[in-house]
Structure 1
Amino acid sequence: MTFKTPDIDTIVRRQLLQAGALGLGSVLLARSALAADMVKLPLPGGPDERRLTHAFPQKGTMILQRTRPPLLETPFSVYDKGVFTPVNEFYVRWHWADIPTHMDPKTHTVTIGGHVNKELKFTVFDLMRKFKHVELAAVNQCSGNSRGYFQPRVAGGEWSNGAMGNARWVGVRLKDVLDEAGVKPGAVQVQFEGSERPVIAAAPNLKKSLDVDHARDGEVMIAWEMNGQSLPLLNGFPFRLVVPGWYATYWTKMLQHVTVLDHEDTNFWMHPAYTIPDNWPQANMTPGEKDVKFVPINKMVPRSFVTNLTTGAKVPAGRPELVRGIAFGGDTGVKMVELSIDGGKTWMPTQLGRDYGQYSFRQWTTHVKLDPGSQTLMARCTNSDGLQQPLTPNWNPGGFMRNVVETTTVMAV
Structure 2
Amino acid sequence: MKDTLVKTAGKDSMLLLTDRPPNLETPLKYFLLDYTPNNVFFVRWHLAGLPATIDKDTFRLRIGGNVMQQLALSVEDLKTKFTPYTINALCQCAGNSRSFFDPRVPGGQWKNGAMGNAKWTGVKLSDILAMAKVKSGAKEISFNGLDRPPMDSTPDFVKSLPFDLANNGEVMVAYEMNGEALPLLNGYPLKLVVPGWYATYWVGMLSDINVLTDTFNGFWMKKAYLIPKDRANGNESPDSLAKNMQPINKMDVRSIFVSPEPNDVIAASKTTDIRGVAFDGGDGIQKVEISTDGGKTWNVATLEKNLGKYAWRHWRYAFTPLQKGNYTLKVKATNINGETQPEHQWNRSGYMRNEIETLIIQVQ
Please tell me the TM-score bracket, short chain as reference.
over 0.9
Distance 1:57 1:220 in 2: 28
Moved more, 283-292 or 186-195: 283-292
Structure 2 residue 4 is the aligned partner of structure 1 residue 51: yes
Q: Do the aligned residues in 2 keep the contact of 1:110 with 1:121 (CA within 8 Å)?
A: yes
Q: Deviations over 1:104-148 (max 9, x none)?
A: 111111111111111111111101111110110000000000111
Structure 2 unaligned residues grouped into runs of 5+: none
- CA drift at 1:368: 1.9
1:136 equivalent among 87, 107, 115? 87
Partner of 1:318: 269
* Deviation of the 1:280 alpha carbon: 4.5
Partner of 1:37: none
> What's the TM-score, normalizing by structure 1?
0.86
What's 1:242 paired with?
A: 193
Q: Which residue of 2 aligns with 1:145?
A: 96
Aligned to 1:309: 260
Task: Pick one of 298, 301, 305 that aligns with 1:350.
Answer: 301
Shift of 1:408: 1.1
Alignment check: 8 A CA contact 1:330 1:383 kept: no
Structure 1 counterpart of 2:18, one-letter code: R
Q: Distance in 1 between matches of 2:263 and 2:156?
A: 44
| Displacement of 1:288 | 4.3
Corresponding residue for 2:355? 404
SS in 1 for 2:129: helix
CA deviation vs aligned residue, 1:217-253 (integer Å, no higher than 9, x gap): 0000000111111100000000110000000000000
Question: Secondary structure of the equivalent of 1:83?
Answer: coil
Letter in 2 for 1:53: V
| Counterpart residue number, 1:17 | none
- CA distance 1:104–1:79, shift in 2 (3 Å): same
1:251-400 superposed matches below 5 A: 251-290=202-241, 292-372=243-323, 373-392=325-344, 394-400=345-351
Contact 1:174–1:216 at 8 Å: present in 2 too? yes
Distance in 1 of aligned mates of 2:348 and 2:273 = 38
Which structure's residues are more often strand, by fraction? 2
Structure 1 167/290 Cα, relative in aligned 2: closer, same or farther at 3 Å? Answer: closer
2:17, 2:266 → 1: CA distance? 31
Q: What is the match of residue 60 of structure 1?
A: 12
Distance in 2 between residues matched to 1:292 and 1:101, nearest whole Å: 41
Question: Once structures 1 and 2 are overlaid, which stretch shifts more, 85-94 or 277-286?
Answer: 277-286
Conservation of the 8 A alpha-carbon contact between 1:167 and 1:226: yes
Which deviates more, 200-209 or 227-236?
200-209
Q: Distance in 1 between matches of 2:275 and 2:133?
A: 48
**Aligned 8 A contact 2:233 2:252 in 1:** no
SS of the residue corresponding to residue 159 of structure 2 reads strand
- Please give the per-residue CA displacement for 1:165-194, whole angstroms capped at 9, x wherever unaligned: 000000010000001111111111011001
SS in 2 for 1:92: coil
Is the 8 Å Cα contact of residues 195 and 281 (structure 2) preserved in structure 1? no
Q: Distance in 1 between matches of 2:231 and 2:138?
A: 26
Post-superposition shift, 1:320?
Answer: 2.7
- Matches of 1:243 and 1:202, distance apart in 2: 29
Q: 1:59-115 deviations in whole A, cap 9, x for unaligned?
A: 0001111111101111122212x1210110000011111011101111111111111
Aligned length: 363
Q: Report the AA paired with residue 200 of structure 2.
A: T
Aligned-partner Cα distance in 1 for 2:239–2:219:
22
Match of 2:176 in 1: 225
Quick check: 309-318 or 134-143, which moved more?
Answer: 309-318
- Tell me how far apart the structure 1 counterparts of residues 159 and 287 of structure 2 sit (CA, whole Å): 33
Higher relative contact order (CA 8 A, sep 6+): 2
TM-score, structure 2 as length reference: 0.97
Question: Partner residue of 2:30?
Answer: 78
Q: Is the Cα contact below 8 Å between 1:84 and 1:361 reproduced in 2?
A: no
| Percent of pairs with identical residues | 44
Distance 1:250 1:193 in 2: 10
Paired residues of 1:303 and 1:330 also in contact (CA < 8 A): no
SS at match of 2:234: coil
Structure 2 counterpart of 1:50, one-letter code: D
Q: Pairwise CA RMSD of aligned residues?
A: 1.3
Q: Does the 8 Å contact 1:337/1:349 carry over to 2?
A: yes
> Aligned residue for 1:40?
none
| Range with greater deviation from structure 2 (316-325 or 248-257) | 316-325
Tell me the alpha carbon deviations over residues 316-371 of structure 1, each in whole angstroms, 9 at most, x when there is no partner.
22343221111112332211111111111221111111111001111111212223
C-alpha separation between the residues in 2 aligned to 1:130 and 1:118? 15
Q: Which moved more, 1:89-98 or 1:332-341?
A: 332-341
Aligned mates of 1:136, 1:312 — CA distance in 2:
36
Equivalent-residue separation in structure 2 for 1:398 and 1:222 (angstroms): 28
Contact (CA 8 Å) 2:236, 2:242: kept in 1 or not? no
For 1:129 and 1:365, locate their aligned partners in 2 and report how far apart those are by CA, in whole Å. Answer: 42
